[in-house]
């Protein structure tokens, strides 16, 4: 995954806004961070990239901010390749950052090499997908034609910011799978993945880019270079998990959606419990909604230890994931003992974190442990966006259970994805029993879509029901 931020200002340096605006995307990535600025007075680009795997964005860039000059810049925090890249081409000089997942990367790499192109950014041992996107762009006669060339060739998704010698070009993924939000304040414009970057920097949301829309931001305005497409498939998991609570996509606030999903679920839930609790951070909004909808108190029976475990994302190695899942959440015995507790969480992916948490809750005296999940069971891994660390379907607990029940992890998937079917009920009960839960319920797809408030046809729900739009 990743998140980016770009800004162009009229008369002042963009560096402070760029630094803090990019930092507000830290919950979306943990591997690489980068900044690039353009100084019109000297006609120079300045770029820096750092590894973030053992530290945080701010600590890596704070001491070198003085080297960045100019009133326009872009920044990225990413879980993929080192970015931004700076290129010189027939379109002019530009820096580029992308939030992308290219499923057909090897196929495109082979095609470009056959056209006598070359790849220089091999620091991670494989082709840098942002460089591949840049090479597809420079095949166009204009930036718009080049970006449309990207849309035409890649399978997956790609949203991008291009820092040029004449402002910043923002281009949203053709299906709108990942968002771009434009912000405005006196004398400056900004574009970002997360609108939570804006309030403390003085920006107001100006507009949301549509699917495939391309705009050029200058300090005095935003020029549309390509109109948006009609079809949209924005990732529903943005509201469930990845989005920061104060962020909005398509005018729909993340915390409002989480609250609504919990509230709606509580109104049909017959379980008798003493209180509702959120598993931090992304389960909190749902639990507050559930508590209000059910008419029970909200209690903090688990707290997240933020001084050294602040980030949502966990390491790629399973043994480290297990340790982090345990270390960052601390149960409160005083709030657990003798109680019938209902916990809300965003999702169950592998089940690692849930297994460790539930074991401790019982050890600390919980009388009953009920779990409510904000979304339907994850049945399919995502081929469209780089939001999940799971590399295959078999990393999903649902698929492992399906294989146990059917002897084939791919059998009857449509039945297991249908809420209320005998297969669905059996799968959920196996998961419930495996974790020793008093009860386990997932939100229905209908409830999630209703909570988001967009038409189902505009939202990607592939991971729940297998629906696909390439």
Look up residue 98 and give its two tokens: 């992308």
User: Contact at 8 Å (CB) between 223 and 245?
Assistant: no
User: Contact at 8 Å (CB) between 189 and 6?
Assistant: no
Is there a single domain that holds both residue 168 and residue 294?
Answer: no
Residue 304 to residues 144, 275, 282, 372, 417, Cα–Cα distance (Å)? 45, 19, 11, 19, 32
In a domain, 244, yes or no: no
Is there a single domain that holds both residue 160 and residue 59?
Answer: yes
- Give the H or E element holding residue 158: strand 156-164
CA atoms within 13 A on the CB side of 308: 4
CATH of the domain at 126: 3.60.20.10
Closest CA to 98 of 162, 177, 167, 52: 162
Residue 138 to residues 141, 163, 212, 343, Cα–Cα distance (Å)? 7, 14, 18, 51
pLDDT of residue 257: 98
CA atoms within 13 A on the CB side of 296: 23
Number of other CB atoms surrounding residue 141 within 10 Å: 10
As a whole number of angstroms, the distance between CA 401 and CA 417 comes to 13
Look up residue 421 and give its two tokens: 């079917």
Domain count along the chain: 2
What's the per-residue H, E or C state across 267-297?
HHCCCCCCEEEECCCCCHHHHHHHHHHHCCC
Look up residue 388 and give its two tokens: 């999940």
Q: Which residues pair with 344 in a beta bridge?
A: 278, 372
Is there a single domain that holds both residue 312 and residue 442?
Answer: yes
Residue 202: give the domain boundaries. Answer: 3-231
In a domain, 246, yes or no: no
Q: Which residues pair with 221 in a beta bridge?
A: 218
Q: What is the DSSP letter of 421?
A: S
Positions of the chain with pLDDT lower than 70, given as ranges: 123-124, 307-326, 387-391, 469-470
Among candidate residues 231, 262, 283, the one where a domain is terminated: 231
Is there a single domain that holds both residue 148 and residue 110?
Answer: yes
In a domain, 321, yes or no: yes
In a domain, 236, yes or no: no
Is there a single domain that holds both residue 145 and residue 276?
Answer: no
In a domain, 243, yes or no: no
User: Contact at 8 Å (CB) between 73 and 163?
Assistant: yes
pLDDT of residue 159: 98
As a whole number of angstroms, the distance between CA 212 and CA 195 comes to 19
Residue 27 buriedness (CB in 10 A; 0-12 / 13-18 / 19+): buried
The annotated binding site for [4Fe-4S] cluster is made up of 235, 382, 460, 463
Where are any strands of DSSP class E within 326-398? 329-331, 340-345, 368-373
Q: Which residues pair with 182 in a beta bridge?
A: 191, 207
Coil vs helix vs strand at 86: strand
Q: Which residue has the tokens 């059917």?
A: 406
Coil vs helix vs strand at 298: strand
In a domain, 24, yes or no: yes
In a domain, 241, yes or no: no
Closest CA to 68 of 135, 9, 27, 26: 9
Is there a single domain that holds both residue 210 and residue 179?
Answer: yes
Is there a single domain that holds both residue 216 and residue 259?
Answer: no
pLDDT of residue 288: 98
Among candidate residues 182, 202, 231, the one where a domain is terminated: 231
Q: What is the DSSP string of 215-231?
A: EEEETTEEEEEEPPPS-
CATH of the domain at 386: 3.40.50.2020
Residue 408 to residues 86, 377, 394, 402, 421, Cα–Cα distance (Å)? 47, 18, 11, 7, 18
Is there a single domain that holds both residue 168 and residue 300?
Answer: no
Closest CA to 27 of 63, 60, 62, 57: 57
Is there a single domain that holds both residue 328 and residue 188?
Answer: no
12-27 pLDDT, tens digit per residue, is 899 999 999 999 999 9
Is there a single domain that holds both residue 205 and residue 290?
Answer: no
Closest CA to 232 of 209, 203, 261, 215: 209
The annotated binding site is made up of 235, 282, 345-346, 382, 460, 463
- Give the H or E element holding residue 9: strand 2-9
Q: What is the DSSP string of 380-409?
A: S--SS-S-----SGGGSHHHHHHHHHHSST
Is there a single domain that holds both residue 271 and residue 141?
Answer: no
Look up residue 193 and give its two tokens: 């993945």
As a whole number of angstroms, the distance between CA 232 and CA 282 comes to 25
Is there a single domain that holds both residue 213 and residue 322?
Answer: no
Coil vs helix vs strand at 39: strand
Backbone angles phi, psi at 113, to 5 degrees: -65, -35
Q: What is the DSSP string of 92-103?
A: EEEEEEEEEEET
> CA geometry: angle at 468 spanning 462 and 470, to 5°?
130
The annotated binding site for Mg(2+) is made up of 282, 345-346
Among candidate residues 201, 231, 261, the one where a domain is terminated: 231
In a domain, 79, yes or no: yes
């Amino acid at each position: 995954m990743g998140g980016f931020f770009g800004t162009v200002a009229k008369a002042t340096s963009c560096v402070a806004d760029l630094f803090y605006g990019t930092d507000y995307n830290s919950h979306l990535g943990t591997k690489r961070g980068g900044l690039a600025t353009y100084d019109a007075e000297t006609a120079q680009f300045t770029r820096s990239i750092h590894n973030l795997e053992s530290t945080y964005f701010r600590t890596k860039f704070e001491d070198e901010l003085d080297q960045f000059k100019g009133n326009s810049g872009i920044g990225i925090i990413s879980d993929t390749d080192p970015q931004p890249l700076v290129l010189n081409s027939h379109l002019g000089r530009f820096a580029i950052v992308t939030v992308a997942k290219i499923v057909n990367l090897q196929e495109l790499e082979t095609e470009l090499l056959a056209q006598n192109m070359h790849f220089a950014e091999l620091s991670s041992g494989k082709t840098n997908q942002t460089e591949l996107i840049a090479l597809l762009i420079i095949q166009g006669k204009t930036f718009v034609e080049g970006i449309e060339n990207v849309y035409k060739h890649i399978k997956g998704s790609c949203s991008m910011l291009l820092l040029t010698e004449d402002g910043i070009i923002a281009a949203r993924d053709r299906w709108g799978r990942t968002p771009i939000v434009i912000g405005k304040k006196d004398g400056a414009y900004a574009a970002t993945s997360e609108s939570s970057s804006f309030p403390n920097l003085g920006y107001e949301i100006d507009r949301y880019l549509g699917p495939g829309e391309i705009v050029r931001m200058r300090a005095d305005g935003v020029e549309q270079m390509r109109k948006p497409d009609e079809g949209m498939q924005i990732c529903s998991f943005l509201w469930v998990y990845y989005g920061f609570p104060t962020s909005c996509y398509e005018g729909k606030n993340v915390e409002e959606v989480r609250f609504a999903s919990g509230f709606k679920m509580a109104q049909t839930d017959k379980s008798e419990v003493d209180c509702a609790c959120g598993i931090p951070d992304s389960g909190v909004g749902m639990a507050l909604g559930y508590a209000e909808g059910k008419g029970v108190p909200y209690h903090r029976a688990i707290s997240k230890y933020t001084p050294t475990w602040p980030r949502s994302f966990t390491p790629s190695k399973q043994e480290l994931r297990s340790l982090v899942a345990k270390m960052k959440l601390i149960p409160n015995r005083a709030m657990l003992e003798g109680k019938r507790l209902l916990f809300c969480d965003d999702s169950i992916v592998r089940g690692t974190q849930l297994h460790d948490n539930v074991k401790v809750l019982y050890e600390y005296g919980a009388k009953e442990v009920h779990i409510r999940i904000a979304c339907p069971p994850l049945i399919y891994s995502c081929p469209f966006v780089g939001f999940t660390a799971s590399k295959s379907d078999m990393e999903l607990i649902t698929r492992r259970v399906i294989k146990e029940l059917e002897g084939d992890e791919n059998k009857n998937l449509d039945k297991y994805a249908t809420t209320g079917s005998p297969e669905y009920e059996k799968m959920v009960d196996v998961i419930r029993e495996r974790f020793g839960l008093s009860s386990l319920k997932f939100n229905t797809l209908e409830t999630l879509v209703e909570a988001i408030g967009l038409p189902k046809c505009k939202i990607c729900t592939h991971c729940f029901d297998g629906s696909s739009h390439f």
